[in-house]
Structure 1
């Protein structure tokens, strides 16, 4: 590990490393995002921007454990044939209509993401969607992106739906019902408008055009789905999955992180199922996990050198009243969350708001909700803006449908801009017009 000397040098090197890593991720024709993130993260350690111990602390272990645990549980369910059954059932219910498939999956994903974490929901939904669209000769990627966008919108509604909300609830002292009352109604309206936006975009691009025109051929595809499954393994997988979800709801009472619960229940399932561990673990998205590992360290460099703290205090210094706070903090949080992982920024900004509340001449509660809306909805801006995006991209790439960085940006940017404007507009209306 090299020593760079002064804190100022480390400060600027951390920024250069982040910009360089992000540039490599964008230039995906020349660099794969996984080695790019790992190189950036380990270079930060090598140059002394962060110590090995600080790098380890920068990794969000709760997120990593959650991903590994849920990937193992989903892997067992795939092995049992559960997703094949769901795909065949969904195909029959929608009768192969692309618009019905889109609306069914995005709505279901948004609802599930509000009561599970959105990473779990994406892990659950994407394999089904890929199977369905492939059978109908549709392009899976636009549908996967739509589901990811819906998961990030839906996850904004509750305390447990998205990691930034968990941080805000913990530091700000807000309850599950506080999120339901203040954010859920806003997100219902935002989801409707967001769904209309990406449906319109897919419509004009021709992604909702049926590829199988012959009704008889389509009917045969819908009705002739033969599914092989292992009912015993499926029952075990579903029981463990159900218990895991119940424990997620109780994790605050149990004082256990969601990641600890997921990884523990995954180990229980592997012991109970008695399946070949190597076969189960082969389906875990290790490339996605390595990407997160590298990115967490790069972002940890920004956090440890004080970049996030300076940015957060700069924003707090500009805010002179709650209306201005909503207009500044919400969009800024959305932009930052689209570029870097929203967890460290949300944490830094939450502590600033906590201190700011002690001296502010106005009620800062609206600023907490503006931060939540911006941080969660801003995750739809780029493919690395939220954990669910990266996980979905990994699943799609494994099945042979890579999602390009700029393809995601082209789909995510209009949805992000419109949903952030709508959500923050409704928040402003709630507090300063309706007075509730």
Structure 2
């Protein structure tokens, strides 16, 4: 016997009805997230997700499957490891060192952090990098009386650009590597050189924007005062706890590199290593879990279910086939698929769209008279770089927003869009232009 839903009871249970109601739910949830003056984004996302289950757009089982458990496990695991490192005083030391190196110069701070973040995001993953960098950045900027939010946003944009370069840097690349059959070296050869150029141009754009807005003006100009802040940084730390935390963190990163050989998801590795650290460190679990960004995790939970509604009712499949339908050759396909992937990934989470589009490209590869490989790279560039468009476009954005809010610096939806859009537009044009040139000339 088929399970009767609330929508079914009122005569709206057909496949077509569910299709349009899933779109309506997504638009409603998105509107609530945008109208943050009236609604906090976390209960807005949870309400949207639970409405999808309550009305029967998705079954509880489908809702559970819609949640990207790898992302959730990765976040919880890395948040626990980072929490222990914060407790040990590790980040206070890094913050002190960064202050000494940059001598409190805002330009040097932004350059150091965006460069370091982009490199780390390529070889870890951008969520882990953001969890690591943002607390240090907020600590430095607030001490120097600078506005932390523009620095946080610039660092997140750099993490998404850097994460585009490799197979393990961003979740869409892991999907593309797995379904398209591409190796780590394929990404290094085809994507990394494009990303290096894109990152340099992207950095110039957001530094120019910050300069124009006056965000790079030092608030403390007296060098003696800056040196006093640097010298005054009293750092209390626990050497034994720090050593344990860093050993576990190091092994976790090593396992991330080997996760394809071990056939383990990054999330499984992170949560496993976090469990080991909690037992080894003998820290109070309640104290550690207090620092875990539960609001961010709840936001993801709700959003995954809302997007799961779109996925289960076939919206992504239709969007993917629509894109494939207008592609007649790989050269125009790069620009069409890349641009549309960037726009869609900026509005919805890029993981389910990449998944749907990947299956379409597999089918297209069987019937097309042309080589579809360039389309895979266009999808990777569009899906990863498009995540910089909005605060919910990529996992790293949501995590950074949660960390920033916890420190007392909430990032508004439109504030992120205002700073993220110019960078996204320029980087997507540059990256797709370079990919197009590569296949046109070579």
TM-score range, shorter chain: over 0.9
User: Who is 2:289 aligned against?
Assistant: 281
User: Who is 2:312 aligned against?
Assistant: 304
User: Who is 2:13 aligned against?
Assistant: 5
User: Who is 2:350 aligned against?
Assistant: 342
Tell me how far apart the structure 1 counterparts of residues 97 and 311 of structure 2 sit (CA, whole Å). Answer: 47
User: Who is 1:207 aligned against?
Assistant: 215
Tell me how far apart the structure 2 counterparts of residues 150 and 243 of structure 1 sit (CA, whole Å). Answer: 25
Tell me how far apart the structure 2 counterparts of residues 347 and 218 of structure 1 sit (CA, whole Å). Answer: 49
The answer on 1:361 being equivalent to 2:369 is yes
Report 1:19-168 matches (<5 A): 19-168=27-176
Correspondent of 1:316 among 314, 317, 324: 324
Contact 2:327 2:336 in 1 (8 A): yes
The answer on 1:373 being equivalent to 2:373 is no
Tell me how far apart the structure 2 counterparts of residues 143 and 183 of structure 1 sit (CA, whole Å). Answer: 26
Quote how far apart the aligned CAs of 1:117 are: 0.7
Report 1:194-233 matches (<5 A): 194-233=202-241
Correspondent of 1:384 among 385, 389, 392: 392
The answer on 1:401 being equivalent to 2:409 is yes
The answer on 1:244 being equivalent to 2:234 is no
SS in 2 for 1:109: helix
Quote how far apart the aligned CAs of 1:408 are: 0.3
Worse-superposed segment, 314-323 or 102-111: 314-323
Quote how far apart the aligned CAs of 1:223 are: 2.2
Tell me how far apart the structure 1 counterparts of residues 237 and 218 of structure 2 sit (CA, whole Å). Answer: 29
User: Who is 1:267 aligned against?
Assistant: 275
Quote how far apart the aligned CAs of 1:183 are: 0.3
Tell me how far apart the structure 1 counterparts of residues 109 and 72 of structure 2 sit (CA, whole Å). Answer: 31
Deviations 1:170-210 (A, max 9, x none): 00000000000000000000000000000000001000000
Tell me how far apart the structure 1 counterparts of residues 71 and 229 of structure 2 sit (CA, whole Å). Answer: 39
Tell me how far apart the structure 2 counterparts of residues 146 and 186 of structure 1 sit (CA, whole Å). Answer: 20
Contact 2:365 2:371 in 1 (8 A): yes
Quote how far apart the aligned CAs of 1:369 are: 0.2
SS in 2 for 1:384: coil
Report 1:167-186 matches (<5 A): 167-186=175-194
Aligned residues: 434
Worse-superposed segment, 407-416 or 208-217: 208-217
Tell me how far apart the structure 1 counterparts of residues 251 and 106 of structure 2 sit (CA, whole Å). Answer: 33
Tell me how far apart the structure 2 counterparts of residues 99 and 406 of structure 1 sit (CA, whole Å). Answer: 25
Quote how far apart the aligned CAs of 1:224 are: 2.3
Tell me how far apart the structure 1 counterparts of residues 226 and 101 of structure 2 sit (CA, whole Å). Answer: 13
Tell me how far apart the structure 1 counterparts of residues 96 and 59 of structure 2 sit (CA, whole Å). Answer: 51
Quote how far apart the aligned CAs of 1:216 are: 1.2
Query: Mind listing any 5+ residue stretches in structure 1 that lack a counterpart?
Result: none
User: Who is 1:331 aligned against?
Assistant: 339
TM-score with structure 1 setting the length: 0.99
SS in 2 for 1:429: helix
Tell me how far apart the structure 2 counterparts of residues 384 and 327 of structure 1 sit (CA, whole Å). Answer: 24
Query: Mind listing any 5+ residue stretches in structure 2 that lack a counterpart?
Result: none
Tell me how far apart the structure 1 counterparts of residues 214 and 267 of structure 2 sit (CA, whole Å). Answer: 40
Contact 2:342 2:382 in 1 (8 A): yes
Supply the RMSD in Å over aligned alpha carbons.
0.6
Quote how far apart the aligned CAs of 1:323 are: 1.3
Tell me how far apart the structure 2 counterparts of residues 281 and 129 of structure 1 sit (CA, whole Å). Answer: 22
User: Who is 2:429 aligned against?
Assistant: 421
After superposing on structure 2, the runs of 4+ consecutive aligned residues of structure 1 that deviate more than 2 Å are: none
Contact 2:331 2:439 in 1 (8 A): no
